[in-house]
Amino acid sequence: MKEFMLPCLNKKFFGFECPGCGGQRAFIFLIKGEFSQAFILYPAIYPLVILASVVLLNMISPSKIYEKLTTFFAVISVATILISYILKFL
């Protein structure tokens, strides 16, 4: 599985990680059941998984509540990504 992972072009060309670095590896840990490792590697993995689930539910059965949940979890995901990215440099 690791041989199919995409490299971070931002890190390759500019020398520092992008806000998405670690997401693929965290997803692999999540699939393996290593939940704490997934969170440590990429804290936004859980809000993103919930967001993807809500989006899929909304595609299957459109509802106003799913639209509101999508917006909520999108904001939580972006905030988590930005906060963890900023904390990575401190």
pLDDT digits (tens, 9 = 90+) for 29-60: 999 999 999 999 999 999 999 999 999 999 99
Tracing tokens 């804290």 back to the chain, one arrives at: 43
With 0-12 / 13-18 / 19 or more C-beta atoms within 10 angstroms meaning exposed / middle / buried, residue 4 is exposed
Task: Over range 59-82, report the average pLDDT.
Answer: 97
Residue 44's contacts (CB-CB under 8 Å, 6 or more residues apart) are: 23, 77, 80, 81, 84
- Please tell me the total number of residues recorded for the chain in this structure: 90
Task: Kindly report the pTM of this predicted structure.
Answer: 0.88
Binned at pLDDT 50, 70 and 90, residue 19 comes out as very high
